[in-house]
């Protein structure tokens, strides 16, 4: 069983978590071009790498950030949003 560490609840099986994709900066919808907005809405970085992702510990509804190697499926760090990694 894969273990993910929630910054508040500690190490738990990954089945207690929900994955919400890579953290991506949102362009300003009022000023950006239609193409830039469509790029934000649809396009993803599907190549493997070390990515910052949104995860949620569903049993406690704790949202946090995981730094994960998506090819090796290795979680390198987890922290609460706003805290220094």
Give the interface with other proteins as residue ranges (CB under 8 A): 1-2, 8-9, 12-16, 18-19, 21-22, 35, 38-39, 41-48, 51, 53, 57-62, 70-73
Which residues, including other chains, have CB under 8 Å from residue 70's CB and lie 6 or more apart? 48, 49, 50, 51
Closest CB 71 distance from other proteins, rounded Å: 5
Contact 53, 64 (CB under 8 A): no
Measured CA to CA in angstroms, residue 28 lies from 25, 33, 48, 68 at distances of 9, 9, 27, 27
The residue (of 5 and 22) whose beta carbon lies closer to other proteins is 22
Closest CB 30 distance from other proteins, rounded Å: 18
Closest CB 28 distance from other proteins, rounded Å: 19
Residue of 50, 62, 48 lying closest to 5 (CA atoms): 62
The residue (of 57 and 78) whose beta carbon lies closer to other proteins is 57
């Amino acid at each position: 069983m894969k273990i993910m560490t929630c910054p508040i609840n500690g190490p738990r099986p990954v089945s207690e978590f929900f994955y919400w994709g890579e953290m991506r900066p949102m362009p300003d919808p009022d000023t950006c071009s239609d193409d830039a907005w469509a790029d934000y809405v649809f396009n993803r970085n599907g190549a493997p790498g070390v990515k910052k992702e949104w995860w949620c510990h569903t049993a406690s509804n704790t949202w946090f950030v995981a730094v994960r190697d998506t090819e090796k499926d290795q979680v390198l760090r987890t922290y609460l949003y706003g805290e220094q990694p």
